[in-house]
Amino acid sequence: MKTHNLFANIPVDLTEEFFETIIMHKSLRIERIISKAHASPKSGWYDQNQNEWIILLKGEALLEFEDNANVHLSIGDYIHIPKHCRHKVAWTAEHIETIWLAVHYD
């Protein structure tokens, strides 16, 4: 058995948002996402076929939903996003990495 650390091996170059699958099994995927001053494209929405549960482990972010609701996330905040709930990332912190743990499931 080998242990891992969610705060280790953070890429130095975060020009692009970093996605790392930690566990994938049947209808479950757990991933670590690292953002720094990233946002979703201006046009379009995430419209996922699975439910998503997210916890913010470090940093700060703002989620925007199609119904014009905004959700500000800080360290320790978590949210459940039902499948097909259209959303996007409005912004993530510029001065520090934002580390997300995302659980996708049916």
| Residues in contact with 6: Cβ distance below 8 Å, sequence separation at least 6, in sequence order | 32, 57, 99, 101
Question: What's residue 4's pLDDT?
Answer: 95
Question: What's residue 104's pLDDT?
Answer: 98
- Which tokens go with 32? 């670590």
Q: How many domains does the chain have?
A: 1
Residue 50 lies in a domain: yes
- Tens digit of pLDDT for each residue in 29-68? 999 999 999 999 989 999 999 999 999 999 999 999 999 9
Residue 7 lies in a domain: no
Residue 93 lies in a domain: yes
pTM: 0.93
pLDDT category, 80, cuts 50, 70, 90?
very high
* CATH classification of the domain holding 89: 2.60.120.10
Residue 10 lies in a domain: no
Domain that residue 51 falls in = 18-105
- Lowest-pLDDT range, 16-20, 39-43, 100-104? 39-43
- Tens digit of pLDDT for each residue in 67-77? 999 999 999 99
HEC sequence for 45-100: CECCCCEEEEEEEECEEEEEECCCCEEEEECCCEEEECCCCCEEEEEECCCCCEEE
Residue 6 lies in a domain: no
